[in-house]
Every structure is written in structure tokens, then in C-alpha cells.
Structure 1
């Protein structure tokens, strides 16, 4: 799953380490999420959105979603 975490983190002038501390995870976890190597739990996704002052929908880009209208 792709994401916009890097974009929002940079807008807030926050380092990976600062974001990690605020979300109670390691810097390596933030790095892996930003590089699309790890999908966060739902709880962590909401924590990230809270810390980055945005919605989960704005942070994460769903791929191949088939919706019936």
C-alpha cells in the first residue's frame, strides 16, 4: 500500500525519529512504512494520521479498489 507519510512529515518539518517517538514505534518502522515495505496496523495508521494532522484516507492510497456505484 502506498502512502503520503513522507509528504505530511516534511510539511510539518518532522524527522522520522520525532514521528516515531510520537507514535511509540521505532524510526525503522517509520522508514519501512514510508518506503512501502511495511503496512501499519489500523491502530498505528490512526496514530500517524492524528500526529500528522490529516485523515487516514489522505495518508494511505488504496490500490485496485473495485467499487460498484
Structure 2
């Protein structure tokens, strides 16, 4: 346990953005530490997030949902 904490503190000192480290690498490393993995271990790279492209139908449905939600919010019973 103590050895893991020492490695964590050393990694933070080496990669913290306030001390000259890269913010994206630091964020990805913190996410992997929170998941319980060592960010310097082999096979652990940066975290990539992919979003599906917006389709015209999806944009239209989102607008209709927002409009309907606003309309329902104004209703007085």
C-alpha cells in the first residue's frame, strides 16, 4: 500500500500541469489511477472519447423534445 502511494505521489509530481506537465496526460492518468491502474504501466495510454456525428433527424428530434419540455413547463393547472 505504501509503495503504491509513493508511486502515485511521484507520478503526480512529474505530470502535474502546475509543475510543467501536460494537462491532457495528467487528466488521463488521474482517470486511470481512479480506476485502480498505474498510468505508467505498459498498455495504458491516453483515454479517447468518441462522439457519434449528429444527424439531421437527431437534431430535429432534440429540438422538438426541448420545445415540448418548455411547453409543458408553462402549463398552469
Q: TM-score, normalised by structure 2?
A: 0.26
More strand per residue:
1
Higher relative contact order (CA 8 A, sep 6+): 1
More helix per residue:
2
Instruction: Mark the structure with the bigger radius of gyration.
Output: 2
Q: TM-score, normalised by structure 1?
A: 0.27
